Every structure is written in C-alpha cells, then in structure tokens.
C-alpha cells in the first residue's frame, strides 16, 4: 500500500540515528507492556479484596510498574522530541540543498512559493510522523497486539467483543481513507497553487501596484481559495462521519462488555475482578485504537505533502554527474571546443544545431544574433546546466560530460544581465565569488570592477545591505558588484551574457574598462548588442535560429554582405556615444 511505503521511507530516514531510535522503540514496547499489565492487576486487586484477602502484593507490584512506566515515559518523551526536532531540521537542510541542485527549469515551472511549501509541509509531516511513531504509536500497537491473546486467555467470549471492536475500527478507517484519497490530493494541489500564487505575486509587488492589479490578483486568489474549500468540505465530512462511527462503536462495545459480563457473572462463569479487567481492557483498547487510527489518518491526510517532499528529493537533476567523473586537471588553461553540438528543448522545436566553436586560451569569442537565436543556450551547455543531445564540448581536451560539475563550474565565471544579488551586505555579495576571501581581496576586486568608490559612498560601505535582488542599488551598481564577484572568482573561463545591455552608454563605457581588465588572459565568451563590446573580439560568431550562420573578425564581417553587415547597417548594433 502506498501509505505503508511512505511510512517506511519516512521511518527509514531516522536511520541516521539508528541507535537512539532503537532504544526509544524498546522503551516504547516496555511502556506498552506496563499499560497492559495494569488492567490485569486491577482485576486481581478487586478479586482479592472481594474474597477478603490482602491485596498488598498486587498493589506494590502495580506501584512499581507504574513508577517504571512514568520514568520510561518521561525519557521517551524528552529524547523522542529532541530526536524528531533534530531530524526535522536535518531533513529541511537536505531538501534545501537538493532543491538548489535542481535545474532552473524545475523552479521556473513550480515557482518559489510552491517549492518552499513542499519543503516546509513535507518536513513538518515527517516531524509529526516521527514524533508520533516514537512517542505513542509503538506503545499503542504493542498494547493492542498483546491485549487480544491476553483477553482470550481470560475469557474467549468477552475477548470476541473486543476483537469485533478492533475489526470495526480498521474497516471504518479504511473505508473513509479510500473515500477521501482523491479529495485529499485535490486539497493538496489547491494548497500548492495558493502558495505558488502568493510567492509569484509577492515577488512582483511593484507590478501589482503600478498596474493596480491588487483587485484582480485578490479576486483570482479568492477563486482558488473557494475551489480549495469546495475540495476540502467533503473530506471534512467524511472525517466527521468516521468520528461519529468510532464513538458509537466504542459505546456499544462498553455496553456489550458490561451486559455480557453481568450475564456470565450471574452464571458464575466470571468473577467481578475479571469483569473489571475487561472493562479496563475495553477502555484501554478504545483509547489505543483511537490513537492509532488518528495517527494513520493523519499520515493519510499528510500523505500528499510527504509525497511532494519525496518527489522533490527524487526529482531528476538536470544533469547527472557520471559516477566516475574526474575533476578537470589543474591548472585549467581554458581551451574550449564545441564539436558539432546540438540541443533541443524538450517538447520544442527550438534549441541549437550543429554548433562548432573553438576558443584558444585567453581568446575572446563574441556571440551575436537576434534575441532568441540560441546564444544563451549555447553557453548554458558549456556550464553543463543542460547536456547536449549530440556532439561534445571539450575543455582543455576533456569532454565536460566526464568532468565533475564542481570542477567545471569552478573554472567558469559568469556575469549575466541580471546581476543575481542576495539580500545581504555588499561584501557578502562579492564574496560569493570566492568563499573565504579576505576583506582586502573583496576590496581589490571591487576596485577593479570600478565599484569601490560607489560602495564607499553607501552608509556602512561594504556592510551596506542591498535589499532583495539588490533593490537598493542602481542597475549599473548592481552590475559592477556582479563583475567584482566574477573578478574575485578568478576563473580561467569567463562568460559575459549581455552583462552591460541594461546600462546606459556612459556607465557601460566605465564598466567596459573593468570588463576588459577581467577578460585579459581568460577565455571569454561575450554576448552583447553593442559594437564597442564585440569589435575587438578575436572571433565573432553570428547565430540565427539556433545555427551559426556567419563567423569571422569584425572588419571582415562588417565589410562582407552577410547577416552581420546587415545588422550593423540596420542599427541592430548600437554604437555608444562615448565609444573610444
């Protein structure tokens, strides 16, 4: 059964602390035995008293077992709680790391809100499952399982009543869980939708405000919410029905036990003490069955959240590393070669086709062409964010398919059009380029990126917190931090993907010096729409519809009668006024 699989997988995650979990499990079993002994002792005490005998041996035994139960219970409560909390955070950290290795397309499809929810809800479900299993469920199951033979050995007829109760509970819970399965999955789907929407809208709050979208967004949200409620109500009704049925079954059982007990006692086949024991058994059984069914149905209700969590853990990484992957041999020179590389987006006609490209160490290759012609895609293959369908890409003569992702990505520094900044200090954002960099190194990189002066004008300088995605900085400032980060990374291969496209001409001219300095001695791939940026490239390759249609040096291409010459003539390339 799917639920059992989820359950065992979740419990399996406690394997990291197997020893403690085992000790807790044994303690739980012991507590279960104590709880079962209590009704028996109760009956014995009553029988002894009714026979006019002393019952102090039983009472002492009872006190002793009770004390043991209390101590064991306290120990289990404390350690199980701590264990569950510990593993809760650990599983959250695991999911976080895992989510960060998933391809960007996964995040783009699901949205940050839904991914966050998957992690939070899933780990919370795990927490309750662990805590419940360790603290109560094992005890309850031991009580139930041992209660049946104990009761049979005392009186089979009375035991049959208790047995019927247990069967009724199992049957009723199973039916209700069946009935609510698809409804529960729908509830979860709508919940996920709500969170995805909230995340999406909150992160676009400026658009919402400037386009006065508030009402429309709020209305859309209310629609999803009412769908959610519509899916939720029938599920809640079923749970209500289950509760009523369980209460009825419990009451009927109690009455049956007392009535049958009275009849049997009248015939002299059962002692008063045994009736007392059976009434206590019935109370114990009802309590434990309630506990177990509540727990099972709670898992059932959280099953979609758990499944979402496990699906996140199991989601195929965009690009798997080969088990025998080797790091690129140091020092990496930065010799890059594309051999007949083709890649097509899944379920799409678009991609890149038969791309051949070579960049010797220290050389600059410019990729130009209309937007959507495949330039960014071509360079994403070099970073192995995606894998080619055919052909291969070599760095220093090594096929990057057989290279560890960490060593490959260590060798490549990237500056995108979007700077990609964290809501942290300026210093921390630059230090992303090289963890453990000293303050002096960070400052040096900032100077080279022409960023030091503006940073010093900020309150707190390098400690200035720049807001989400660098909202407290101008576009040019953000970009210079991204460049400083790349400088600090000091990688042999550099990718500049429209790094300066969003900037005005004079800011670009200033940043260009920083970029030229950065390009020196590095293999550079540059995507740009400005003549000044591509003019001194060692080779320009022109993309159109995913294919290289032209290649050469700037003057050859500009003079020739091809696509590039036409782009220059049509002003497809802007010439900054300060070009020099």
For ligand ADP, the binding residues (CB under 6 A) are: 105, 345, 348, 350, 369, 371-377
C-beta of 372 vs 560, nearer to ligand ADP: 372
Q: Cβ of residue 417: shortest distance to ligand ADP, in angstroms?
A: 10
E-assigned strand segments in 225-384: 336-344, 351-359, 364-368
Q: How many CB atoms lie within 10 A of CB 340?
A: 12
* d(C-alpha 50, C-alpha 491), whole Å: 90
- How buried is 552 (Cβ within 10 angstroms: 0-12 exposed, 13-18 middle, 19+ buried)? middle
- Partner whose footprint covers residue 532, from Mg ion, ligand ADP, none (CB < 5 to 8 Å by kind): none
114/235 with CB nearer ligand ADP: 114
Partner whose binding site includes residue 374, from ligand ADP, Mg ion, none (CB under 5 to 8 Å by kind): ligand ADP
CB of 377 to Mg ion, least distance (A): 8
Output the smallest distance, CB 375 to Mg ion, in A.
Answer: 5
Q: How far is the CB of 371 from ligand ADP (least distance, A)?
A: 4
Nearer to ligand ADP, 21 or 368 (CB): 368
Which structure tokens are listed for 215? 């009402």
CB 413, min distance to Mg ion, A: 17
Beta carbons of 530 and 574 less than 8 angstroms apart: yes
Q: How far is the CB of 109 from ligand ADP (least distance, A)?
A: 9
Q: Which is nearer to ligand ADP, 15 or 346 (CB)?
A: 346
Residues 404 and 408: their CA atoms lie apart, in Å, by 6
Q: Could you say which of ligand ADP, Mg ion, none residue 105 binds, taking C-beta under 5 to 8 angstroms by partner kind?
A: ligand ADP
For residue 345, the partner it binds in Mg ion, ligand ADP, none, with Cβ less than 5 to 8 A by kind, is ligand ADP
Task: Give helix 2-12 / helix 112-132 axis angle, nearest 10°.
Answer: 80
Point out the residue whose Cβ comes nearest to Mg ion. 376
Cβ density class 536-550: b for 16+ within 10 Å, e for less: ebebbbbbeebebeb
Q: What are residue 352's phi and psi, to 5 degrees?
A: -125, 150
Cβ proximity to ligand ADP: between 215 and 371 the closer is 371
Using CA atoms, how far apart are residues 379 and 343, in angstroms rounded to an integer?
12
| Residue closer to ligand ADP, measured from CB, 163 or 318 | 318
For 89, list phi and psi in degrees, rounded to 5: -65, -40
Q: From Mg ion, ligand ADP, none, which one binds at residue 304 (CB under 5 to 8 Å depending on kind)?
A: none
Chain residues in the site for Mg ion (CB under 5 A): 376
Minimum CB separation of residue 543 from Mg ion in Å reads 10
Report the SS3 class of residue 403.
Answer: strand
Closest separation in Å from C-beta 140 to ligand ADP: 50
Q: Which does 350 bind (CB under 5 to 8 A by kind): Mg ion, ligand ADP, none?
A: ligand ADP
- CB-based burial of residue 466 (10 Å sphere; 0-12 exposed, 13-18 middle, 19+ buried)? buried
| Residue 199, contacted partner among Mg ion, ligand ADP, none, CB below 5-8 A by kind | none
Please say which residue, 246 or 533, places its beta carbon nearer to ligand ADP: 533
Residue 25 C-beta-side C-alpha neighbours within 13 Å: 11
Q: Name the β-bridge partners of 358.
A: 337
Residue 197 binds which of ligand ADP, Mg ion, none (CB < 5-8 A, kind-dependent): none
Looking at beta carbons only, is 376 or 500 nearer to Mg ion? 376
* Rounded Cα–Cα distance for residues 144 and 142 (Å): 6
Order of strands across the sheet that contains 364-368: 412-415, 493-497, 523-527, 364-368, 539-544, 547-552
**Beta strands across the sheet bearing 351-359:** 351-359, 336-344, 390-395, 398-399
- The two beta strands, 523-527 and 493-497, are parallel
Q: How many residues belong to the chain?
A: 580
Query: Distance from CA of residue 475 to its chain's centroid?
Result: 31
> Least Å distance between CB 366 and ligand ADP?
13
Nearer to Mg ion, 180 or 376 (CB): 376
Which partner, Mg ion, ligand ADP, none, binds residue 8 by CB below 5 to 8 Å per kind? none
Nearest approach, Cβ of 374 to ligand ADP (angstroms)? 4
500 contact, one of ligand ADP, Mg ion, none, CB 5-8 Å limit per kind: none
Measured from the CB atom, is 199 or 369 closer to ligand ADP? 369
């Amino acid at each position: 059964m799917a639920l059992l699989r989820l359950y065992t997988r979740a419990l399996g995650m406690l394997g990291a602390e197997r020893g403690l979990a085992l000790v807790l499990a044994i303690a739980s079993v012991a507590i279960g035995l104590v709880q079962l002994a209590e009704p028996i002792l109760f009956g014995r005490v009553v029988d002894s008293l009714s026979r006019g005998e002393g019952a102090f041996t039983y009472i002492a035994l009872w006190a002793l077992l009770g004390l043991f139960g209390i101590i064991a219970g306290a120990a289990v409560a404390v350690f199980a709680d701590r264990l569950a909390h510990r593993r809760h955070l650990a599983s959250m950290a695991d999911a976080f790391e895992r989510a960060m290795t998933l391809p960007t397309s996964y995040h783009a499809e699901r949205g940050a809100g839904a991914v966050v929810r998957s992690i939070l809800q899933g780990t919370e479900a795990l927490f309750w499952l662990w805590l419940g299993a360790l603290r109560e469920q094992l005890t309850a199951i031991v009580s139930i399982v041992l209660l049946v033979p104990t009761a049979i050995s005392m009186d089979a007829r009375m035991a049959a009543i208790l047995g019927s109760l247990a069967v009724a509970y199992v049957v009723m819970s199973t039916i209700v869980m069946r009935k609510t399965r698809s409804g529960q999955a729908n509830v979860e789907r709508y919940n996920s939708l709500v969170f995805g929407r909230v995340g999406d809208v909150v992160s676009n709050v400026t658009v919402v405000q400037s386009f006065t979208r508030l009402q429309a967004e709020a209305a859309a949200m209310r629609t999803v919410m009412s769908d959610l409620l519509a899916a939720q109500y029938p599920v809640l009704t079923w749970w209500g029905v289950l509760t009523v049925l369980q209460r009825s079954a419990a009451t009927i059982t109690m009455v049956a036990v007392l009535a049958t007990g009275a009849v049997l006692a009248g015939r002299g086949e059962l002692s008063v003490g045994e009736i007392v024991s059976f009434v206590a058994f019935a109370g114990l059984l009802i309590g434990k069955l309630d506990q177990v069914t509540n727990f099972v149905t709670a898992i059932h209700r959280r099953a979609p959240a758990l499944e979402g969590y496990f699906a996140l853990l199991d989601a195929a990484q965009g690009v798997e590393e080969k088990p025998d992957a080797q790091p690129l041999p140091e020092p990496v020179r930065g010799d890059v070669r594309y051999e007949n590389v083709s890649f097509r987006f899944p379920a799409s006609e678009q991609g890149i086709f038969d791309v051949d490209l070579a960049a010797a160490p220290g050389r600059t290759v410019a990729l130009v062409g209309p937007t959507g012609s495949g330039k960014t895609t071509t360079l994403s293959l070099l970073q192995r964010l995606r894998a080619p369908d055919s052909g291969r890409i070599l760095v220093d003569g090594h096929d990057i398919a057989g290279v560890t992702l960490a060593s490959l990505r260590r060798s490549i520094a990237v500056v995108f059009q979007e700077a990609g900044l964290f809501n942290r200090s300026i210093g921390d954002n630059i230090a992303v380029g090289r963890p453990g960099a000293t303050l002096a190194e960070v400052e040096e990189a900032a100077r080279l990126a022409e960023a030091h002066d503006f940073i010093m004008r900020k309150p707190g300088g390098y400690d200035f917190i720049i807001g989400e995605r660098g909202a407290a900085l101008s576009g040019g400032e953000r970009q210079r931090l991204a460049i400083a980060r790349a400088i600090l990374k000091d990688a042999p291969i550099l990718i500049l993907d429209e790094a300066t496209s969003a900037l005005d001409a004079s800011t670009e001219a200033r940043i260009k010096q920083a970029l030229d300095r950065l390009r020196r001695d590095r293999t550079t791939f540059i995507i740009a729409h400005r003549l000044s940026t591509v003019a001194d490239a060692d080779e320009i390759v022109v993309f159109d519809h995913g294919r290289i249609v032209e290649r050469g040096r700037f003057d050859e291409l500009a003079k020739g009668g091809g696509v590039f010459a036409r782009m220059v003539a049509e002003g497809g390339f802007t010439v900054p006024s300060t070009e020099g």
